Structure 1
Amino acid sequence: MTMPRFLADLPRFVFFTGKGGVGKTSLACATAVRLADAGKRVLLLSTDPASNVGQVFGLTVGDRITPVPQVPGLDVLEIDPNQAAEAYREKIIAPVRDLLPQAELDSITEQLSGSCTTEIASFNEFTSFLADEERIAEYDNVVFDTAPTGHTIRLLQLPGEWTSFLDAGKGDASCLGPMAGLDRTRTVYAEAVRRLADPAQTRLVLVARAQQSTLREAARTSAELAAIGITGQHLVINAVLPKAVSDGESDALAEAVRGREHNAISEMPPVLRQLPLTTVPLHAQTVVGVDTVRALLHTGDTEIATFMENAQHPDLGSLDRLVDELATADHGLIMCMGKGGVGKTTVAASIAIALADRGHTAHLTTTDPAAHLDEVLDHQSIGNLTVSRIDPRVATQEYRDKVMASKGNKLDDAGRARLAEDLLSPCTEEVAVFGQFSHLVNQARRHFVVMDTAPTGHTLLLMDATGSYHRDIARSMGETGTYTTPLMRLRDPDLTKVVIVTLPDTTPVLEAAELQHDLERADIHPWAWVVNASLAAARPSSSLLRARAAAEQPQLERVTALAGRTAIIPMLADEPHGPDALRRLTTSTHQPA
């Protein structure tokens, strides 16, 4: 068996990172099994909220180290980031629960409910498996499923002590000090960061798919981590569609996908071309069970699993049915939300064009920094439709400058450094675009506004809980005043329709379910779900793709259980660029399998 390039001369620690749904967990499991089969003592540790390590090995795995009976020498451990974050919040809030009013406690809780807090809490949990030699002395290799972001690592590198900084009331910027509850010594964190940055000790494996969006994301991650000294990087492009499995087998969809993947790889960002590259072929089987885990990194022919020829997939409906229902009104806000790479821009553009074609005035906008509306629309103008883009970088820089000039003006150099780092958090960008977003929300009272990406429920509650726009208006108007804020409009189901976009795979569906829960905490209830790029809906003839289509069934069933309204878009032979291609997404010819 040929050695995959990313496994050659592997150091003791290996981290897998990448967007949801690219196959991080599967590759981490396959790596751990391969090392154990070679006689190594291996610990596989997951901090992925969508981790299914236990399911892969047929074990009940939690926060205890658990041996894998079928693989001597392999132990596994799952750290639940949400449980870690909850324990982390409780540690901060418990000492002041009886001292502060409930409103302030609610504010602190929401401030510590963002992605930054979850990252820090998770890293706090697994730092010892990177830096505490006593805990890992028996292991030759430690394999991590998901790595900390550059933002998290920069926070750990900051000098000084965060708790006193926050106690003095100086840290209320964006994430509002997720470092406040850390109890480990700076020495431990310094050792963890040192090991991460040492290529002789740590390899970071960037996992992507052969798609432009995930490769762009991998390039951003690579550059961010390289900038803070983590240079021992490899790139793995997973699930690349292989050549026809049997002689004479022909499938137009499969050929189109192969061509698209080839172009994405050949045109990937320059920063990725400098990295050692491994491609892993798409397998028919879902990676469940030790045999399929071992087969994942095998370079031989892909074996086709058995599948139900007449599998009955649930009827999720077509996108045109959702548009018909939206078009019964003459205005409203339609927010297409979801994780990166699921097709939000395509779905938003298709809905906006369909509404414009039905005679409605529509405005299509995006706050997604990776979105390219001009590219999707093929630079063509459409009657009744206007297009804009909120530039998150400009809005965020203006916000940072404002906070540094006000709060930062009262701090010493060390305090300003901490505040500047806090303002680099993912939450800052969402808060920064809220003002421009609010203006568009108001426009939706007169015509349709279709938005590609919007603030998460955490950001909306953060704006409310910290006395920003919503609460400021409430205070100024008093108990007898009448007012309507953007948050109130988002909670109005007659005005706002949230459409969650996902893919028919385990991780994207789980992430979409978490997004729905996050929005519901802000009393915003998604109106519909759209499943994009479904092989089941495309009805391929290739035996490999038919097997993959059959594997979608559990996720499609889960979507129908989670969503009140649904639509499904098939995997397409060509990317839907240009108005005509986008219009075809909202025609009744695209029916589910």
Structure 2
Amino acid sequence: MTNTKTNYLFFTGKGGVGKTSLACATAVEMVDAGKVVLLVSTDPASNLKDVLESPVDENIKAIKGTNNLFAINIDPENSAEEYRNRVTQPLEGVASKGEIKKVREDLSGACTTEIASFDEFSRFVSGETEGTEFDVIVFDTAPTGHTLRLLELPAAWSSFTEENPEGASCLGPTSALKSGKERYHTVVNRLRDGSLTSFYIVARADKASLKEASRTSNELKELGMGNQQLYINGVFKAIDKQDSLANEIEAKGSEQLKSIPGNLNELPIRTFPLLPYNILGIDKLRSLFNPDLQKSISESTVAQTNTPHQELTGIEKLAEELCENQQHGLIMTMGKGGVGKTIAASAIAVLLAKKGHEVLLTTTDPAAHIQDFIQQLGELPATLQVERIDPKVETQRYTEKVLEHKGQGQSEEAKKLILEDLKSPCTEEVAVFHAFSKAISMAKRKFVIMDTAPTGHTLLLLDTAGSYHRDIMRNNMNAGRLRTPYMSLQDQELSKIILVSLPETTPMREAGSLQDDLKRAGIKPYAWLINQSLTLLSSITDPLLKSRASAEAEVINTIKTSYSEKTFGIPFIADTRLLPTLLGNKEKV
């Protein structure tokens, strides 16, 4: 690893696969080898400070316990606010306060956040950071959909700024960007240069994760970013061969590794074992690339293991509560990427449909794994409808609708200009929001179960809803009679938010942070659902699994006492047919 020839290292993959741990461990190893390293997070839901056990914010800071390791977290909201200030500053003294306020409102949506974050991100690749000279810059990127979008932005905006020199309504004047097209061309060229940039695609030894990694690899190659390696994290090896669950987990992982998608098999592959401890702090980060240190920490952790059994109410009881005295409503599963939002949404939808309710199961997640789970069931309840809000399809539909409306009676040249404006990256956000709004309106007639994207994406989506809400309330004389999607999300009778977490420290903190953000927006979560918990099982004998279960107990108690009044649980399931097994074993929780 320390012999890498590139200056820029990107870690990407499905949420929850261990990108942050591997990115941080790589940075620590390089520093130990004498390099000066900067670690950058471009994830709206970053947890660098938890993993490094050191303060990390929007300014470059030295990391405690190391020499020459620095880190920064690009805060999307701060970046967006700075961008809005740069757009509106030239208007001071020229436009009225009302007009300036209108401009700020127009720039309050998700697209502005994306563009502003990229504007910050690009300066690290273009070499324009102030202060310390870095040998290597390691990027702990956001979950896959967000990352690909981020990496597509250089090419999109290099052409967009050329074709639209005056800017666009969603973006504001391009002069408000910290740099122009030259930087974007530089960034694109460096990302595509295999001698400068490497991409580490991180996955787990499971079908959904490897499928996502395969898609990521292909999309990166289509963008001209072909210098890739595959890291498979958390590979489990049973210690106690008498433990049936341990054997099942190992067998499942081995089976999945034998069927790695063909395009991934062409890449250099490295595997990392599942460890009995959480990778938090510099010493444990060092252990990821140091088998001797791994063994030492593992033996110490296992020796101190105590595995108290936990009792949590199961997902069937959660489904019963959600439909108690109700025939309709919006139910959204939210949380960090990879925690199990999709399986939770799928199980709740099937359980409600089996009770005879009309149910729509849908997703706003670009990765969309709902179909993978639903297909495991074979025959579906007659009252269950499954669909996906496909960003590309919705964008095309929205583009055609706008072109038809605005282009009516216009010349061909005028229509061409409208179409050029719709090439803006903002269009996708707006299009997805329109579909999202439609799904919310259906919740007044049936149960709508929405599997949302990973945390950062979800917040951007809700921010769009809030922006739309403010715009409606500001511009409509009869606003008092209107019910916007944002108001529907705030209605606790209509909308129930289920926060999904794994029984681990970082996902718990991520969900807690999301809960705080939702509460500030006037949206109170209904309950927490703890997924894949080993402590709900009483027959574990494998030392590694017992150690992981022991670590879970404290997290679950913290969730129950500090985060949520209602807490439900899903036991750890090793079966590859996850949804049928969960629904069949519901009484065992």
TM range (shorter): 0.7 to 0.9
Equivalent runs, 1:323-362 vs 2, <5 Å: 323-338=319-334, 339-357=336-354, 359-362=355-358
Flag structure 2 segments of 5+ consecutive residues without an equivalent.
Answer: none
Alignment deviations for residues 314-362 of structure 1 (CA, whole Å, 9 cap, x no partner): 76533233233224214122423225533333222322333344x4423
Q: CA deviation at 1:64?
A: 4.6
Tell whether 2:258 aligns with 1:266.
Answer: yes
Q: CA deviation at 1:398?
A: 1.0
The DSSP-based 3-state class of the residue aligned with 2:200 is: strand
- Matched residue, 1:463: 468
Residues 528 and 240 (structure 1), Cα distance of their counterparts in 2 relative to 1, 3 Å cut:
same
Equivalent runs, 1:103-118 vs 2, <5 Å: 105=101, 108-109=104-105, 111-114=107-110, 116-118=111-113
Residues 160 and 450 (structure 1), Cα distance of their counterparts in 2 relative to 1, 3 Å cut:
closer
Q: CA deviation at 1:416?
A: 4.0
Contact kept? 2:38, 2:137, Cα under 8 Å: yes
- Matched residue, 1:157: 158
The DSSP-based 3-state class of the residue aligned with 2:169 is: coil
Contact kept? 1:330, 1:360, Cα under 8 Å: no
**How many Å separate the matches in 1 of 2:128 and 2:494?**
57
- Matched residue, 1:395: 394
Q: CA deviation at 1:200?
A: 0.4
Contact kept? 2:56, 2:72, Cα under 8 Å: yes
- Matched residue, 1:420: 423
Residues 17 and 495 (structure 1), Cα distance of their counterparts in 2 relative to 1, 3 Å cut:
same
Alignment deviations for residues 169-201 of structure 1 (CA, whole Å, 9 cap, x no partner): x534xxx56967412232223222221111101
**How many Å separate the matches in 2 of 1:496 and 1:58?**
36
Contact kept? 2:442, 2:448, Cα under 8 Å: yes
**How many Å separate the matches in 2 of 1:288 and 1:69?**
13
Match of 1:41 among 23, 36, 42: 36
Equivalent runs, 1:251-262 vs 2, <5 Å: 251-262=243-254
- Matched residue, 1:28: 23
Q: CA deviation at 1:438?
A: 4.4
**How many Å separate the matches in 2 of 1:244 and 1:191?**
48
The DSSP-based 3-state class of the residue aligned with 1:335 is: strand
Tell whether 2:282 aligns with 1:290.
Answer: yes
Q: Taking structure 1 as the reference length, what is the TM-score of the superposition?
A: 0.81
- Matched residue, 2:432: 430
Contact kept? 2:518, 2:524, Cα under 8 Å: yes
**How many Å separate the matches in 1 of 2:232 and 2:441?**
41
Tell whether 2:568 aligns with 1:567.
Answer: yes
Q: CA deviation at 1:77?
A: 3.7
Equivalent runs, 1:6-155 vs 2, <5 Å: 9-68=4-63, 70-93=65-88, 99=95, 105=101, 108-109=104-105, 111-114=107-110, 116-132=111-127, 135=130, 138-146=133-141, 149-155=150-156
The DSSP-based 3-state class of the residue aligned with 1:40 is: coil
**How many Å separate the matches in 1 of 2:504 and 2:468?**
32
Residues 411 and 548 (structure 1), Cα distance of their counterparts in 2 relative to 1, 3 Å cut:
farther
The DSSP-based 3-state class of the residue aligned with 1:551 is: helix
- Counterpart amino acid of residue 285 in structure 1: Y
Give the stretch that moved more between structures: 368-377 or 201-210. 368-377
Residues 37 and 453 (structure 1), Cα distance of their counterparts in 2 relative to 1, 3 Å cut:
closer
**How many Å separate the matches in 1 of 2:116 and 2:557?**
33
Residues 236 and 586 (structure 1), Cα distance of their counterparts in 2 relative to 1, 3 Å cut:
same
Q: CA deviation at 1:568?
A: 1.3
Give the stretch that moved more between structures: 203-212 or 121-130. 121-130
The DSSP-based 3-state class of the residue aligned with 2:82 is: helix
Tell whether 2:539 aligns with 1:542.
Answer: no
Give the superposed CA RMSD: 3.7
Alignment deviations for residues 385-417 of structure 1 (CA, whole Å, 9 cap, x no partner): 322314524333211222344557775867744
The DSSP-based 3-state class of the residue aligned with 1:433 is: helix
Q: CA deviation at 1:569?
A: 0.8
Q: Count how many residue pairs are aligned between Structure 1 and Structure 2.
A: 562
Contact kept? 2:37, 2:137, Cα under 8 Å: yes
- Counterpart amino acid of residue 8 in structure 2: F
Q: Hey, which of these two has a bigger chunk of helix by percent?
A: 2
- Counterpart amino acid of residue 498 in structure 2: V
Alignment deviations for residues 56-104 of structure 1 (CA, whole Å, 9 cap, x no partner): 4443344454445644443444443443333333433555588556698
- Counterpart amino acid of residue 461 in structure 1: G
**How many Å separate the matches in 2 of 1:547 and 1:44?**
30
Contact kept? 2:194, 2:226, Cα under 8 Å: yes
Give the stretch that moved more between structures: 550-559 or 187-196. 550-559
Contact kept? 1:21, 1:506, Cα under 8 Å: no
Residues 201 and 450 (structure 1), Cα distance of their counterparts in 2 relative to 1, 3 Å cut:
closer
